Structures are given as C-alpha cells and as structure tokens.
Amino acid sequence: MPEEAADRGATGDGHGSAAYLRFPHLSGDRLCFAAEDDLWVAPLDTPGRAWRLTVDRTKVSHPRFSPDGRHIAYTTWRNLVPEIHLAPVDGGPARRLTYWGNADTQVCGWSPDGDILAVASHGEPFSYFTWAYSVPVDGCPGGKLPWGPVSHIAVEDFAGERLTLLLTGTPPHEPAAWKRYRGGATGRLWLHGQRILADLDGHLDSPMFVGGRIAFLSDHEGIGNLYSCLHDGSDLRRHTDHDTFYARHASSDGTRVVYQCAGDLWIVDDLSPESLPRRLDVRLGGPRAGRRTYQVPAAQHVDGISVDETGRAGAVVVRGSLYWLTHRDGPARTIADTPGVRVRLPEMLGSGGQVAYVTDAEGEDAVEIAYLPRASGEREPRRLASGELGRVLELVSDPKGERLAIASNDGRLLLLDATEESEGNSRTESGESGVTELIRSINGPVRDLAFSPDGAWLTWSHPGIGRTLRQIKMARIEGPGARTIVDVTNGRFEDENPVFTRDGRFLAFLSWRGFDPVYDVHTGDLSFPLGCRPYLVPLSSATPSPFALTPEGRPAAGGLDPVEDDAGDGTVTVEIEGLESRVTPFPVTASKYSALYPVAGGGLVWLRWPISGALGETFANPDDTSGRPTLEYFNITKAKKSELVEHLDWFALSGDGSRLVVVDEGDLRAVPSTEPGDGDSTVWIDLRRILHEVDPAAEWRQAYAEAGRLIRAYFWAPDMCGIDWDGILEQYRPLVERVASPDEFADLLREVLGELGTSHAYVTAARRNEGPPHYQRAQGLLGANFVRRDEGWLVRRILPGDSSDSKARSPLAGTGIREGAVLTHVDGRPVNSVAGPFPLLAGAGGTTVELTFTPAEGEGRSRRVAVVPLVDERPLRYQDWVAKRREVVRELSGGRCGYLHIPDMGGSGWAQFNRDLRMEVSRPALIVDVRGNAGGHISELVVEKLTRTILGWDLTRGAQPVSYASNAPRGPVVALADEMTSSDGDMITAAFKLLKLGPVVGQRTWGGVVGMTGRHRLGDGTVITVPMNAAWFDAYGWSVENQGVTPDLEILRTPLDWAEGRHAQLDDAVQLALDLLSLHPAATPPTYENTPTRTRPKLPPRTLS
C-alpha cells in the first residue's frame, strides 16, 4: 500500500497537527474544518497556520464554502439546537439563517442557484423525517423540497441538465459509530429519481458529484473508504485504502474530495484510478484553549457524600476528587485530587478518622483508605485489592470501620479487611489481599448492603429469577457460625434495601409485594401501581411487633412503650426459624419508596416518590406534580410517620444516625434526622469553599480508560464476540491526546464503541464549561403553518391537535385566530416581510408572547392575543400525521380497515396504541403501523393485545354486541414496518411473523436488538451506554441484530412517490388486508335469530298406573 494511503492518523508521527480535525470542505486554495468547537480556515497546500472563523466555543459541523468561495454556511449549536449560520470567509459577523428549533438540522451544500441545501425535521412528526430544504441567504426561511425524508442532498448542473442526488434510508448513526452495520437502514442512493448501486451491501454516506462521477463513503468491503461510480452506477472504484480507521465526513468542490480519518484531514485530488489520497499538513494557530485547566462550581458537580460520625463534617466527591468539608465553617481540605484519577463511593470508617473510597489510580478499581486531615501532619493513604474487585458498585463499612463490604458488577459480594497491619505491608508481602468472597450471584449484582449495629451481620438484596425478583439475605460475619447465610425472604417478590434498626432488634426492608389491583379506566385491564411498602422483621420471636396489639389493650398503632421495653444496645440475635413468617408491613400507605436508612432512636427514614403516569402528565396526588421525592421519618416507638423535607434529590446519613445531609438542586444542608429542621438546627453547607480545578486532558484520559473497562465488564457476550477489545483501545488511545472539547471526546468514543459492531452503544457529550449560556431558552413554535403573501405572513393552517394528548395542542387554538389571518407583530415588533415571525420567536419557547393579527379579509380590526409558544411541536405534528394516515386508510378501504400507529414501545407508544384501539379493532380488518417505531420495552404488551381471538360475543338488548375476548381484532391484521422500525420495533415485527399475526409490508427493519440497561456517567460527565441484553429467537437465532426483519411484502416508497403524493406501502398494506378479508371474513356477532326457547312447556297428563 502506498505510504500516502496508510492509516497513520493516530500515531503523532509529525505529519499534520496535534488537533482533532473534523468536517472538512475546500474551495480554491482554502480549506475549512472544525476543531476545538470552532470553524477554522487554512491554506490548502502552502505552509501556514489555520485561523479561527468563529469564536463561539460550541459544537459546530458541516461547513460548506459558497460557490464563489466568499462565504461558509455551517451548522452550529450556539442556540441550544442546531441552526444554519452564514459567515464571510474574510471576516465579519456570522448571520443566523434558520429558526427551525429542531435537533436534526444539517447543512449539506449549495445549489447552482446559490441557495444553501440542508436537511431538517422541522415541522415533521418524527426526527428521522429529515426533509431537504433550499435556504436562501437573504433570510427567507427556505423552501421544502418534495423528495420526502432524505439524509443528504446534492444538486449539480451536468450536460445541460440539473441533477439531484439523494441519500435516503439511513439510520441516525453515521457508519463509524456502528461499524459494518448491515441492517435495513444502510442507505439508498437516488439520481434524478432512479436508484443506483442497489446491490452494494454497505453503509453509505456523504454522496457528492465529483468530476462527472458520483463519489461516496461506504464500508461494504469492511472498512469505511471513499468510492465512486458513473451516474448509472457502473464502474465502481475505490479511491482510498484505509484498513484500520474509517474515512468520514467527505465533501467536495466538484473536482477534489476531502475527508477526515483518525483526526487528520485527507485529500483525493481527482477520481482517476491512479489517484492516491494524501494527508494534509494542517496546523492550528494559538494555544489549545480546550485543553487548558479551569475551575468549576462544586455545587454542580457533587458525585457523592459520606458524613462523619456526628454529622458535623463530611467527605464530598466533586467531579472525581475527594474533599473534607466541615459543615458550618472552616476551609475545605483535599483528601484525593490527582488529575486523571477518579474517586467514587466515599465511606467513612466508623469514628476512627479514616475514609475509604474507590479509586482507579492503577487502571482498575481498588479501595483506598485515607486519613482525615489532622494538625499532627499528613499520612499517606493505603491502597487495597487493586484489580481484584471488578467494577465496584457499592462500598459499605461496618460500624467500627474494620471491614468493608463490596458489591461487584460480576455478582460477587466481597468482604475486605480494612484494619491497619501492625508491620506495614506484611499482608501484601505474604500474598494475602484481605479480600473474601462471601457469595456470588449468577443473576446479576447484589445490592443494598448494610451491616448490623454490632458489625456481626451483613444483609443485602439478592437477585432472583428474571430481572425483577429479589430476596433479602443476611450472613453472620463474625462469631459462632461465621459465613452462615440466611434467607430472610423467599424470593417470591421484589425485596430490596434491607437495614438493621439501630437497636439491633429488627430488620426493615422495602418490598413490592402489594397486590391491590387498580382498574384501567379505558380497557378494563388491571394493574398494580401501588405495590411498594416498608416491612419489618423482628429478629427474635421474643421481640413483639411494634405494630401489634399489646396485652394492656394498646391500639395496634400505639407502638412500644419506651419505658417498659428494653431499648436494645445494638447487639443482634437472630432466630432463624420462622423468620419469614414474622414479616410485618409498616402501617403506611402503599406507594413508591426508596433509600431506607436507620436513624437515631430506633426510627427509619425513607424517600417516598409521587405516583405519576409514564408520561409525567397525571399524578395520583394533584397537589404534588414535582416528580421529586419526599423525605419521611417513621418513629417505630410511636408507630408514627412525619415529613422531614418536602422535595429533594437525595441525602446522606451521619454515622450515629442523628443528622442528614440533604442535596436539593445543588444546595446542601445538614438537618436533624428525626424532626423537621428549623433555623437553629439546619446548617447550610457552603460548597464554594471547594475550589476544584479541572484538567480536561487528564479527565479525558481517565474517562477513555473507564469507558473501556465498562464495556469489558458489561458487554453482553463474555468473549466480546471475538473482538480484541484491548487492541481496539490501544489503537484509538493516541487520539485522546488530540481532542480539545467534550464533543470531540464524545466523537472519538463513538468511533471506539462503533468497533463493537453492535446496536445501542451510544455516547452523549458532557456539557462544556464554555459556549452558550445555560439559561438560553428554546425557539418558540406556534403549531401552525405560515405562508408568505404580499400582505405579510398568513396563517395557512392551525393544526387541530388532539384533546386526549395535552402536548398536542396549538398555542393558537382557542384564541379566536382563524386561518387566513396575517401575523403582523410579535411583542410589538413588526414581522419582517422576508424572514417572517420566526426570528422574533427565538428564545420564546415556554414563555408568554403577544401576537398581533390582521383578521382574514373583511373580518374586522387587528387583534392582539397572548400565547405560550411550544418548545416542541412534534407531538402536535404527530397526531396530525396519524389522523391523515387514518383518513387515507378509510378512503382506500371504504371504511373496512382500522388503522393504528405505534410511535415507540414506551409510555407514549402504549398511550397511542390504546388511544384508538377500541375504535379501530371494531372494523373488519386492521393495519398496525410500526414504521419509525423508536423502540422501548413494551412490545410484548402490544403482542398480547393483538393475539386476542374472538371466541364469542356478549349481546345486550339495545346495545352493540361486544366480542369475547374484548378489543380483539375481528379479521385480518397487516403490519407496516420500515428501516426506521428499531429496537423493540424490530422485536414486534419479528413477533408478527413468528406468531403469524399477519403479513408484514414495507422494508427490512433497523436490526438493533442488543439492548442497554441504564447509562454510565464517566468522570468527565460523558455518558455512554453498553449493549448488555441480546435478543435471541427460535426462528432467527442471533440474526435479527445487525440484519433486521425482512417483511413478507417488500415495498419501497421512493422519492418520486413522495413527490407525487403516492402512499406506497400504506396502499399496498390496505389492499393486502382487503384481499385477506375476502378470503377470511371478519368475525361477526350473531343475530337474534334462533335464540333459545325459554317458554313454559305444556304439562303432560298424569300417567295412571
């Protein structure tokens, strides 16, 4: 391979720059690209340094030189969501051109007429409905092009003809973020309405016109490289030979192609077979501002707290470093603050002046024990069990601080000796680590570890069958029968959060074992929304339940008499026999509880969460719609509950149980643990005393290594599907030294996780310390379509919305403003005749604005109305889209087909499915549309509904017959799926075929069924997900992942179909349903003919003997 084409981008061998360069474009002798969250311009082939074109210090992408090379159009996130801006190359302020307010806007290039070509999902029901737009540079909002959803567009005048090149059917992830992706959304290329390269089995990206050919990126040979073909798809050529890193984000000036690869920029001078790529020598001017150190406010970065014995001070983790902070006054003292090392899970060791925590200083989790600051001098911390613990999830100390219990990600429950050795490192020298495995779970990690007050027992919640059942276990740690494990509960329910009361007489825990069903108001189903309650277990049969009736006749809620009853000294005696039978519920209402802790005086505190709908629109208590928990205290002696803090985020408990540190939206305060705090007893903790300085480069090194460990620990296949994961990490590691912003680091991690070749490996960038202010507000949206007319901007249509969806209501609804009115002013400012009202609504989302309208011709004077513009009008657009699809189905089927669309497999999808289920299944046939389904986890609930069969009917006089089973399809069911049917959408499509619910029409689905559970926040704030849960089917094996589900009837809706208004797929699904209906008629109720005879029979004559 020629040296020019080799993958050397990550080696730092002197070529190019130490920066991480992305999104290149070129014009003449100039090159534009993104680095350090700004745009730069550099000389293309002559020595010289690049200069900044923008100084926004915020995410930016896809710059494109204008045809004359004087301006650059680009996508920037300086306004919360991406919008299109235009900047002069030779200096001057940039101008914002779009006010679309959606997260999918992207510049694609320029048209021969001098308009900017872009894609956006503005005004669409789905994020993947990115339509192409032609955006003039005069500030006009731009025109929507008719080709339907596209991810890229290029336009060229060639041989006297204007050609349009479209890329459709691509996923939201670029090829490098899921390498060697082969699902249903690999992309389709269209030239002038005709598809080309239909048989190319690769993930397509960045199509462009270059020198009479079509160039594009593809990984059909296993690695992302640059290819080209003639306009008819013939003469396919490869122009680059990268065999390690993917070529990404290619663009062209019509003759040359530039692209990024491993942080470097490369150029292909022409598309001849002999041409070879060469790396560009690009050097940035000025300091690496994104890698300089900076301070952060501690209150916004608290990751953990451990309070000392008396509640007067605590160890506070701020962004991976540990500080000692007295609660009232005094300076903050640093315990552990090494750049590039992350500290987690602080835990005070009794009252001995030591704190334990988890550190990754040696590249794997270890426990470090530090000595609290003393006037007598500093002592070096002790590090224990490095590399022996796996990923530490919980760290708990016994009351004396001599032993630590550790829950590991691999299911092990470990005990670690935390005592000091009398002769320094004798234990290490003898080969003993002090780590003992108490038990190992094969069903996931143990959790909720808690020691008894005498330190002799340990209790925890142990995972059982499935993913929800858990049981309470406890083990004797010392004394006679040490290591004896006892089952407190039998594993029938979800039991969690066990704790010993401080007097040692009881074990309390939370359990989801309430079975008081609540009727569904729509479908008659029953569910258990109020299933959790705290429970109490007397550890000895001689200890009466504090909620039982006493011999003196005290009421059941009267509790124990503190004078007559021994208060207990914390010594625990466990009578194993009959333990499960002594479980008693607390006399509190069933709800949602968490964070159970024992406090001083034998009582308990917990968090009670408001019961709400999955969409956060309905609350069981209308007076509490915060969604935040309440901190409550329960006095066992009096069997009485009281409220300590109304709303908070979380809390920590002092060692003696007398004080709580409450974390509430960045504020910390210490309060009593048994009564509401007042002005005297509440101490506000000033976190400004902690001056934490961030070293971004060191943080990124740590976060990169931590991400690698997390993937290795949690990836679903123990053998990593054959991937040399350590080799992959080493391959990309040099690039960490080049990134200079959170977005660049996230981009790098996407490439690394993309090597897994697996779905659900996502990366979300951390919020940087610079860039747009945090208080920015969103674009205001009015839920209406406007059109430019001579007299101004006219309301063409107010979206009708849906009264059953609170988010699907136009701000103009109910104002008296009608279609045909002209919007003249926003907050008293005149609407520009070219740009329209949209610039005046910038930042108006969720706030009240005044709109002035001139009514439709002849309807009176101007009117002023006050409205609250929407932040997101997608729910409104979606309901309108569903209504229109339903109208099409009604028209095509003559009213014989019902229509249901399911947008996702979560709360909103379940709501949408049930919203019209009763109406739509009453028709002879049913279309179930899961196109664009974003996935989730409730597909099995939908399948349960759709597999219902009508076995009979319930007839009531004067009423319509009702089927048994109710709400069951009456006849054929046809499913619609496409390449955006994803995740749990893949699953329901597979279920349709496997259960023979009905034929599937459309396109092969996305192909991503290795799901994730939760998210992992790295030390710098970057969030990643790990593919943990792989789906396997009897009929498909593992093959749905990275393949998708092929429909029974493959129908493609082409750009020409969209342009000409043809409902391909939907038309075919309806026709198929009608054909099936003619072969298999729908179930119909019986008539009143042949009803049973219930008349009195004639009495026969008596028989005489």
SS3 (DSSP) at 60: strand
- Other CB atoms within a 10 A radius of the CB of residue 590 amount to 18
Strands (E), 705-848: 763-764, 784-789, 792-798, 822-826, 829-830
SS3 (DSSP) at 822: strand
- Annotate 651-689 with DSSP letters as a single string: EEE-TTSSEEEEEETTEEEEEESSS---TTT-EEE-GGG
| Whole-number Å distance between alpha carbons of 369 and 602 | 30
Indicate left, alpha or beta for 806 from its phi (over 0: left) and psi (-120 to 50: alpha).
alpha
| Whole-number Å distance between alpha carbons of 932 and 127 | 9
**Structural element, H or E, at residue 919:** helix 917-920
Please calculate the CA angle 625-629-632 and round it to the nearest 5 degrees. Answer: 125
Cα dist from 1082 to 249, 546, 924, 951, 1085, whole Å = 53, 62, 5, 12, 10
CA 293 to the chain's CA centroid: 29
- Annotate 941-997 with DSSP letters as a single string: HHHHHHT----EEE--TTS--EEESTT---S-EEEEE-TT--THHHHHHHHHHHTT-
Q: Which of 66, 760, 893, 939 is catalytic?
A: 760
Cis check for the bond before 965: say yes or no (omega within 30 of 0). yes
**Structural element, H or E, at residue 295:** strand 294-297
User: Could you confirm whether 575 is annotated as catalytic?
Assistant: no
Q: Which phi and psi angles does 595 have, rounded to 5°?
A: 55, 60
Select from 972, 979, 980 the least CA-distant residue to 999.
972
Spatial neighbors of 767 by CB under 8 A, at least 6 apart, are 742, 774, 1021
Residue 347 is encoded by which pair of tokens? Answer: 């835990």
| Whole-number Å distance between alpha carbons of 33 and 36 | 10
User: Could you confirm whether 1041 is annotated as catalytic?
Assistant: yes
Residue 548 is encoded by which pair of tokens? Answer: 């039982």
| Whole-number Å distance between alpha carbons of 456 and 485 | 12
Select from 579, 398, 395 the least CA-distant residue to 471.
579
For the stretch 895-899, contacts whose Cβ atoms lie closer than 8 Å and that sit 24 or more positions apart, written own/partner, are: 895/923, 896/923, 896/924, 896/925, 896/1074, 896/1077, 897/923, 897/924, 897/925, 897/926, 897/927, 897/1070, 897/1073, 897/1074, 898/922, 898/923, 898/925, 898/926, 898/927, 899/926, 899/927, 899/929
What would the 3-class secondary structure string for 893-904 be?
A: HCCCEEEEECCC
- Cβ contact 335:324 at 8 Å: yes
Please calculate the CA angle 336-337-340 and round it to the nearest 5 degrees. Answer: 120
- Cβ contact 631:644 at 8 Å: yes
- Cβ contact 658:310 at 8 Å: yes
Q: Which of 83, 755, 873, 1041 is catalytic?
A: 1041
- Cβ contact 301:343 at 8 Å: no
Residue 935 is encoded by which pair of tokens? Answer: 């996935």
| Whole-number Å distance between alpha carbons of 500 and 491 | 19
| Whole-number Å distance between alpha carbons of 6 and 276 | 10
Cα dist from 1087 to 782, 957, 960, 971, whole Å = 51, 11, 11, 19
User: Could you confirm whether 760 is annotated as catalytic?
Assistant: yes
- Other CB atoms within a 10 A radius of the CB of residue 767 amount to 11
Q: Which of the residues are catalytic?
A: 760, 983, 1041
